[in-house]
Amino acid sequence: MDKPLVIAGRTFQSRLLLGTGKFSSSQVMKEALDASGTDVVTVALRRVELQNPQDSILSYIDTKRWLLLPNTSGARDAEEAVRLARLARAAGCEPWVKLEVTPDPHYLLPDPVETLKAAEILLKDGFVVLPYIHADPVLAKRLEDLGTATVMPLGSPIGSNRGMKTRDSIEIIIERATVPVVVDAGLGAPSHAAEAMEMGADAVLVNTAIAVAGDPVLMAKAFKKGVEAGREAFVAGMRQPQKKAEPSSPLTGFLR
Amino acid sequence: MSFYDTMREHDWNEVLQEIQGRTVAHVEKALGKAMPSDDDLMSLLSPAADSCLEEMAQKANRITEQRFGKVISLFAPLYLSNECTNQCVYCGFNASNAIGRKTLTPEEALEEGQKIHDLGFRHLLLVSGEAPALVPPQHFARTARLLRPLFSSIAVEIYPMATEEYSFLVDHGVDGLVIYQETYNRELYERVHPAGKKRDYLWRLETPERGGRAGFRRLGLGALLGLSDWRAEAFFLGLHARYLLKKYWMSHVTISFPRLRPAAGAYEPAKPVSDRELVQMVTALRILLPDVGLILSTRENPHFRDHLIPLGITSMSAGSRTEPGGYTHAHEAEAQFQIADERSPEEFAQVIRQKGYEPVWKDWDAVFMEGDVA
């Protein structure tokens, strides 16, 4: 029997987290969220007007049903990320934050130094912090030591659809982690999500691959299945691939 | 070192000759590459590439959706002043044109800003001619400070300033800078800018770099299309964008495509750019620069704008007024140019939705530009 995903004491049935950017309409976004079975929805604070009940994204997100996880996309240093997180909390969001510090607006790669700094400030401030990082096992441990609720290493750059390019490092992160590992970026196909889950990742976060698919709702369903298949395979216990065939009736089987 | 040093490695006429000499085989090679080079850009801008235009459009569409999603950001210009000491031969604000001149006080600008806010916009572009004695940096700073609560992003398209002056604007909450080179051809540049501070080609060319040093989050480039051969302009634009991406790597770079429109003074574009050619330019630059924002204004007509939505454009203005005070008191002052798309912002947003894209009014936050964390 598999155990559900628990982040900072909170239980989630789904291991697929979804982003809300890049959709062709908020209606399509909502239908994709529904189809994915997700429990956690991340929203870029830069994209929303927190005070506006008619906001084009927030008005589609039922916070009784989904955990609204604000993210600090666009922040280029710790100070900006902290300011954004505080803004969200002051506006009534739960004190959870997906911490993104991405000084390069083109590749959106996370800044390890500023991320660590921001995590420290936000944790002292009482936030539940889920940091987006490179697949850097040492940084993951450093963040975990500070008290972050997860680590969220990238599979490949955000929006790149390139899959688990950082596989070897993510394996180390998973092996050493005591907090949930959420593979956060670059997953372009349900098979990529399955791969991450088969390796033992606790969850994955997907946005672009679903948002820009020909049929985002169907793709959300496909990712749901990919994540579930990968998880079940992990729980079932996968054998390592072997170079040679291993006969099911070995020749030396008679030697007891 | 500045972009000028990079630029000098290329001779305008040789670039043009090279572009003219490219064949379909060159274009196909460029289209097959994951990371096209500057040399590939020449192929994509060549007359030979015209026969591959559909393929270029498809590629531009794919790249843009992947990187930016199915969204179009919207912004509005707010014309602060049409005072100008320059004599740009193509511009309605030319100092020698006898037009009604007006500079909005910060309070009048606030009134305009409120109207723009009510139309739905959260991204604002403050625009002005070049008259520092009448409209000094302090004027923009005060105006930006007043407008800040209404907008999540404020950019400026004003006369080139020194780094310290730009830093002053950044400190007052201005996050973006737009500055068109007009033309990268130095000889022509001096001819179409016969007087005023604007005559200084290098001062203008190095303006985006001063903006980058001052900490603007967005640096916008453009060449005025119709002044000279668009293929060469587009090549140097591409180089300029690439240079800035490397050097000011924390700033987002954008490229606009201002095509010359009829204006007071009746300047006829010397080298008009056709719709087909403009599409080639947009898609070629998209293929070279997957991460750069591409901007189209209301200079273009509705038919053309609607069809450009899926071709690589990421940001558009709508319902623009190009005269100071135009949103609250239309037609009282002279406009910089006539707009060709008079649809309201909401009408245009509806068109974006019909095209299968989400109109995005807010994609930035004023909180980025505020002071220190306490």
Q: Look at A47 and B252 and tell me if their CB atoms are within 8 Å.
A: no
The confidence score (pLDDT) of residue A107 equals 86
Residues 94-113 of B with CB under 8 A from A: none
Residue A212: closest C-alpha in chain B = B69
Cβ atoms B82, B324 nearer than 8 A: yes
Q: What is the pLDDT of residues A82-127, one digit of tens each?
A: 999 999 999 888 999 999 999 998 888 999 999 999 999 999 999 9
pLDDT of residue B283: 98
CA dist A120 and B212 (Å) reads: 29
> Which sequence spans correspond to the domains of chain A?
5-236
Residue B253 and residue B178: Cα distance in Å, rounded? 10
Q: What percent of chain A has pLDDT over 70?
A: 100
Which tokens belong to A40?
């956690």
Question: Is the pLDDT confidence value at A18 over 70?
Answer: yes
Residue B95: the pLDDT is 82
Residue A250, pLDDT > 80, answer no
**Long-range pairs for B188-193 at CB < 8 Å and ≥24 separation?**
B188/B227, B188/B228, B192/B88, B192/B89, B192/B90, B192/B227, B193/B86, B193/B87, B193/B88, B193/B89
Angle at the Cα of B172 from the Cα atoms of B170 and B176, rounded to 5 degrees: 40
- Cβ atoms within 10 Å of B178's Cβ, excluding its own: 23
Residue in the block written with tokens 């996309």: A73
Residues in a beta bridge with B71: B358
pLDDT of residue B265: 59
| Count of residues making up chain B | 374
Q: With beta carbons under 8 A apart, name residues in chain B contacting A75.
A: 368
User: Which among B148, B144, B153, B158 has a CA at the least distance from the CA of B176?
Assistant: B153
Give yes or no for residue A238 having a pLDDT over 70. yes
Residue B76's DSSP bridge partners are B124
Yes or no: say if B256 and B221 are a contact pair by the CB < 8 Å rule: yes
pLDDT tens-digit profile of B20-35? 999 999 999 999 998 8
First to last CA, chain A: 33
Whether the predicted pLDDT of A242 surpasses 90: no
Q: Of A1, A58, A67, A79, which Cα lies nearest the Cα of A38?
A: A67
Residue B372's pLDDT is what? 44
ipTM of this predicted structure? 0.80
Q: Apex CA A45: angle with CA B354 and CA B327, to 5°?
A: 55
List the catalytic residues of A. 98
Architecture in CATH for domain B52-366: Alpha-Beta Barrel (3.20)
Tell me the two tokens of residue B31. Answer: 């289209």
Cα–Cα distance measured from residue B96 to residue B101, given in angstroms and rounded to the nearest whole number: 12
Per-residue model confidence (pLDDT) at position A195: 97
* Amino acid found at B82: N
Beta-carbon separation of B249 and A103 below 8 A:
yes
The confidence score (pLDDT) of residue B374 equals 37
Residues of B within 8 A of A51 (CB-CB) are: none
**Distance of alpha carbon B16 from alpha carbon B235, whole angstroms:** 9
- Are the Cβ atoms of B358 and A25 closer than 8 angstroms? yes
In sequence order, the β-bridge partners of residue A41 are A18, A68
Contact present, B143 and B113 (Cβ < 8 Å): no
Q: What is the pLDDT of residue B157?
A: 97
Is residue B352 a contact partner of residue B346, using CB atoms and an 8 Å limit? no
Classify each residue of A61-79 as buried b or exposed e, where b means 16 or more C-beta atoms within 10 Å of its C-beta. beeeebbbbbbbbbbbbbb
- pLDDT of amino acid B262: 62
Q: For residue A256, what pLDDT band results from cuts at 50, 70 and 90?
A: low
Task: Give residue B373's pLDDT.
Answer: 43
Q: Which residue of A has its CA nearest to B153?
A: A46
Range list of β-strands (E), chain B = 71-81, 123-128, 153-157, 176-178, 218-222, 252-256, 293-296, 315-317, 358-360
Note whether B368 contacts A159, CB cutoff 8 Å.
no
**If you count residue pairs, one on A and one on B, with CB atoms under 8 Å apart, how many are there?**
83
Chain A interface test: which of B63, B73, B362 (most A C-beta within 10 Å): B362
What is the C-alpha to C-alpha distance for residues B21 and B16, in angstroms, rounded to an integer? Answer: 9
Token pair belonging to B269 = 């574009």
Q: How far is B353 from chain A (nearest CA, A)?
A: 7
Q: What is the pLDDT along chain B (374 residues), one digit of tens a residue?
A: 899 999 999 999 999 999 999 999 999 999 999 889 999 999 999 999 999 999 999 999 999 999 999 999 999 999 999 888 888 888 777 888 888 888 999 999 999 999 999 999 999 999 999 889 999 999 999 999 999 999 999 999 999 999 999 999 999 999 999 999 999 999 999 999 988 889 999 999 999 999 999 999 999 999 999 999 999 999 999 999 999 999 999 999 999 999 987 666 567 888 999 999 999 999 999 999 999 999 999 999 999 999 999 999 999 999 999 889 999 987 777 777 778 899 999 999 999 999 999 999 999 988 887 754 43
Q: Which residues of A touch B122 (CB under 8 A)?
A: 49
Superfamily name and number for A5-236? Aldolase class I (3.20.20.70)
Q: Which residue has the higher pLDDT, B101 or A183?
A: A183
> For chain B, which residues make up each domain, given as ranges?
52-366
Q: A103, B217: Cβ pair inside 8 Å? A: no
